[in-house]
Structures are given as structure tokens and as C-alpha cells.
Amino acid sequence: MDSLIIEATDVSPEVLFNLTTNNFIISGKSRPENTGKFYIPIIDWITKFEENLSAQKLEIANNPPIVFLFKLEYFNSVSAKYILDIILMLKDFVVKGHEINIEWHYAESDDDMLDTGTEFSNMVNLKFDFIAH
């Protein structure tokens, strides 16, 4: 399985899922015209990654923690649905015994982005680390 790298555009975020460092980053703006077309391959990749991770866990007791970083400046309501789907998948990782650290980055002056991250965290009952910059 290869790392997933998708370059940012004016309307879609950068995606860097690095299997070497176990840092998975989604950053930038998310308002693609066809949101499903953008996010479905990401969701498929995460599904395959979890399957590989679960199989590997049987062989390796101490998998390193996965750090999932959301560094989004803006996303529309359709993107929010897919972002929540990804977060729900991360909850499933935790339920299956994988160690996941979720970081929600936001501009210090962006109360809306902080509130959205807090809502997502509460909806799925997962702890997020909120990081202002």
C-alpha cells in the first residue's frame, strides 16, 4: 500500500497520508464541485489502510500511533458531511484498538472552525487536540 498524496487546488484540500511517518493531513480549503468524486477515493484508501492495519496488528503488537491532522481553512456543508464520515471512520479505528491522535488546527481568530471541530468531537465522542495558530 502506498501513501496517499493529493495536491491542493483552489477548491480542494491537500491530502498527505504518509505511511512512513503515520501523519495523515488534510489541509486547505474544501469546496470541490463534485465533493463525492474528491472524497470517495480518500474514504476508500482509509478503509483499505484500516484493513491492512488490522491484519498487521495480529503480527505486530505495538503499532505506532496514527496522527490525523485536520488543517482546514474553510469547507462547505457538503464537504462537512465527508469530513464527518472520515472522523467516524477514525472512531471505528479506536473501537478496534488502534491508537489515533486527532489534531484540529484552526486560525486563532476563527471561532467558527473551532466550534465545528468541537461539534465533530462531541458528535463522535472522540477527544481532539485543538491547536490554534
Comparing CA positions, the residue from 100, 96, 91, 92 lying closest to residue 66 is: 100
Q: Which amino acid is at 102?
A: I
Give residues with Cβ within 8 angstroms of 43, minimum separation 6. Answer: 82, 85, 86, 89
Q: Return the domain boundaries, the chain.
A: 4-132
17/23 Cα distance (integer angstroms): 6
Whole-prediction pTM: 0.92
pLDDT by residue (tens digit) across 18-40? 998 999 999 999 999 999 999 99
Dihedral angle, C-alpha 44, 49, 50, 51, nearest 10 °:
90
**Measured CA distances, 59 to 13, 82, 122 (Å):** 34, 32, 33
Mean pLDDT on 37-47:
97
- The 10s digit of each residue's pLDDT in 90-119 is 999 999 888 899 999 999 999 999 999 999
Second CATH level (architecture) for the domain 4-132: 2-Layer Sandwich (3.30)
Q: Is the pLDDT confidence value at 60 over 50?
A: no
Residue 71 in 3-state DSSP?
strand
